[in-house]
Amino acid sequence: MTSKRVVAASTFLMSSALILSACGGGGDSASGGDGTVLGFSQVGAESGWRTANTTSIQGAASEAGIDLKFSDAQQKQENQIKAIRTYIQQKVDVIAFSPVVETGWEPVLQEAKRANIPVILTDRSVDTTDESLYATFLGSDFVAEGVKAGDWLVENSATSDVNADGRINVVELEGTTGAAPAIDRAEGFREAIAAQPTIAISKSQTGDFTRDGGKQVMESFLNSDKAIDVVYAHNDDMGLGAIEAIEAAGLVPGKDIKIITVDAVKDGMQALADGKIDYIVECNPLLGPQLMDLTKKVVAGEEVPKRVVTEETTFTRDQAAAVLADRQY
Ligand code: AHR
């Protein structure tokens, strides 16, 4: 950060601290922070994962004494671009965002760069060859998540052919079209099953990472195909929607149709422990503390790694049942 920007930011922050204290709460005055302002553009509130992620970021900001300006883009890229431009005008210290889709960010990231405001990508990355447009990317390895889901199916393929025709007919509920986790989880899964001639993905459609989306897509899959063996859903919410559609069709999820999902939020873990989901690959939404730590380092001019990968695991039924009571989200 240039000294000019530090002066501009501190002038802005001093006045915002005054306004906040006059309002009687929040920001650095309430939490004893150093006046750092972080503008964060969230994707939306499409899933249980997203809600947990928002709670983690808001809680960690308040804990760290960082003045968080938060906006919900309702899953629209244009809203995220607008929010980022507003943060640039407000001269925040750091901008962080979770990009709803991978492409189309270079112009607004160039604007942030020209304004000397560092950008932290959280959860999802952007498709760019210019790494100078962001300071760091904190989030999961979505390709690895897809590989884990596919590996489980390969390892359990002997018991996965519920229609007993020797072929495993998989349908895929994809995340938001163009989103990094949708692209990467599809890629990783395909990579893992590639050498298995008996496993084939017969249908793949987006359910937009929502429960309703998953339910609707699964209903249409079931209307046109009675021989589905496995559902691979890119998140728990779509898997939970698929369960509703499967039960409404008179079938038993986890028995007539096996279900693999990603996330491991509480509702998903409950369904796994109840035997309605067969396997969950974890995607950890609790990124708040690491994001605040990176924000402070970036503001202090410290070097940060270009990529911070979130640590994650996987859950079988027994493992879900064992941790369910202590699951925070
Ligand atoms: O980017 C993370 C993904 O977005 C989560 O898996 C999904 O639930 C969310 O909506």
Q: What CATH number has the domain bearing residue 233?
A: 3.40.50.2300
Mean pLDDT of 215-228: 96
Please tell me the pTM assigned to this model: 0.90
Distance of CA 283 from the midpoint of ligand 1 (Å):
8
Assess whether 245 and 194 both reside in one domain: yes
Based on the domain organization, do 203 and 233 belong to the same domain?
yes
d(CA 262, CA 239): 9
- The CA 327 to ligand 1 mean position distance, Å, reads 18
| Residues 128 and 112 both lie in one domain | yes
Taking only the tens place, the pLDDT of each residue in 152-188 is 999 998 777 777 788 999 999 999 999 999 999 999 9
Ligand 1 atom at minimal distance to the Cα of residue 262: 6
Per-residue three-class SS string for the chain = CCHHHHHHHHHHHHHHHHHHHHHCCCHHHHHCCCCCEEEEEECCCCCHHHHHHHHHHHHHHHHHCCEEEEEECCCCHHHHHHHHHHHHHCCCCEEEECCCCCCCCHHHHHHHHHCCCCEEEECCCCCCCCHHHCCEEEECCHHHHHHHHHHHHHHCHHHHCCCCCCCEEEEEEECCCCCHHHHHHHHHHHHHHCCCCCEEEEEEEECCCCHHHHHHHHHHHHHHCCCCCEEEECCHHHHHHHHHHHHHCCCCECCCEEEEEEECCHHHHHHHHCCCCCEEEECCCCCHHHHHHHHHHHHCCCCCCCEEECCCCEECHHHHHHHHHHCCC
Specify if 232 maps to a domain. yes
With bands split at pLDDT 50, 70 and 90, how would you rate the model's confidence at 328? confident
Same domain, 194 and 258: yes
Closest atom of ligand 1 to 237 CA is 8
Residue 199, in any domain of the structure: yes
112 and 77 belong to one structural domain: yes
Q: What is the pLDDT of residues 245-263, one digit of tens each?
A: 999 999 999 999 999 999 9
The pLDDT value given to residue 158: 79
Render pLDDT for 101-155 as a digit per residue (tens, 0 to 9): 999 999 999 999 999 999 999 999 999 999 999 999 999 999 999 999 999 999 9
The closest-lying atom of ligand 1 relative to the alpha carbon of residue 46 is: 10
Q: Which domain holds residue 258?
A: 142-283
Is 167 contained in some domain?
A: yes
The count of domains in the chain is 2
317 found inside a domain: no
Residue 324 located in a structural domain: no
User: For residue 312, which of 287, 277, 294 has the smallest C-alpha distance?
Assistant: 287
Domain-embedded: residue 86: yes
Q: What digits encode the pLDDT tens for the residues 223-249?
A: 998 899 999 999 999 999 999 999 999
> Does pLDDT of 19 surpass 60?
no
**For residue 322, is it within any domain?**
no
In a domain, 36, yes or no: yes
Which of the listed residues 101, 209, 282, 329 should we mutate to test ligand 1's pocket, taking the one with most ligand atoms within 8 A of CB?
209
pLDDT above 90 covers a percentage of the chain that reads 86
